[in-house]
Structure 1
Amino acid sequence: MLLSHAQTLAQARSCVAALADRALTIEASSAYERVLLELDRVHGDDCPALDTEDLTDDRDILLAVASNAMEELENYGVDPLSVELILALLVEPHDLDIG
């Protein structure tokens, strides 16, 4: 994995983890965790660590950054269909989170 790929993946994972931590319900948090699991599965569990400390508390910004980073993963050879499926998985927790 190239450094730029790892950085993009770390950004996506960190934002989704922050969304899980900041979710308003346990159901939304669990759904975000499922997104993380799928993202890790696509990468064969070869994933960089999470860093959520300095991220914003604004869930809309976190969602946008995570989505953009996931879309960028296609540039590093990640299957476009896998990326689309992960992005689709991100809809459920977001919907649960906004009530």
Structure 2
Amino acid sequence: MLLPHAQTLAQARSYVAALADRALTLDASSAYERALLALDRVHGDECPALDTEDLTDDRDILLAVASNAIEELESYGIDPLSVELILAMLVDAHDLDIG
């Protein structure tokens, strides 16, 4: 994995983890965690660390950045179907989060 790919993956992982941490319900938090696990599964053992310290509390911004980073993973050779499935999981989690 090259550095730009690792940076994009780290951003995606961090923002999805932040969404899980800031979710309003346990169900939504669990759904975000499942999306994060799916993202990790696509990359095997090559998963950079999470950094959620200075991220915004605005869940809409977190969702937008996470979605963009996940979409960008296609340009690094990640299967487009896998990307779409992870994005669908993220949307489902967000729908649970907003009620």
Decide: shared fold, TM above 0.5. yes
Matched, 1:7 2:7: yes
The residue number in structure 2 matching 1:72 is 72
| Deviation, structure 1 residue 45 | 2.7
**What one-letter code is carried by the residue in structure 1 that aligns with 2:26?**
I
TM-score of the superposed pair, with normalisation by structure 2: 0.98
Matched, 1:27 2:23: no
Identity of aligned residues (%): 87
Distance (Å, rounded) in 2 between the aligned partners of 1:95 and 1:14: 20
Corresponding pairs, count:
99
**What one-letter code is carried by the residue in structure 1 that aligns with 2:8?**
T
Distance (Å, rounded) in 1 between the aligned partners of 2:93 and 2:72: 21
**What one-letter code is carried by the residue in structure 2 that aligns with 1:65?**
V
| Deviation, structure 1 residue 55 | 0.5
Matched, 1:37 2:61: no
Per-residue CA deviation, residues 36-77 of structure 1 (Å, 9 max, x unaligned), is 100000001310000000100000000000000000000100
Distance (Å, rounded) in 1 between the aligned partners of 2:6 and 2:54: 18
Per-residue CA deviation, residues 11-33 of structure 1 (Å, 9 max, x unaligned), is 00000000000000000000000
The residue number in structure 1 matching 2:60 is 60
Distance (Å, rounded) in 2 between the aligned partners of 1:45 and 1:13: 13
Moved segments of 4+, more than 4 Å: none
**What one-letter code is carried by the residue in structure 1 that aligns with 2:94?**
H
Gaps of 5+ in 2: none
Gaps of 5+ in 1: none
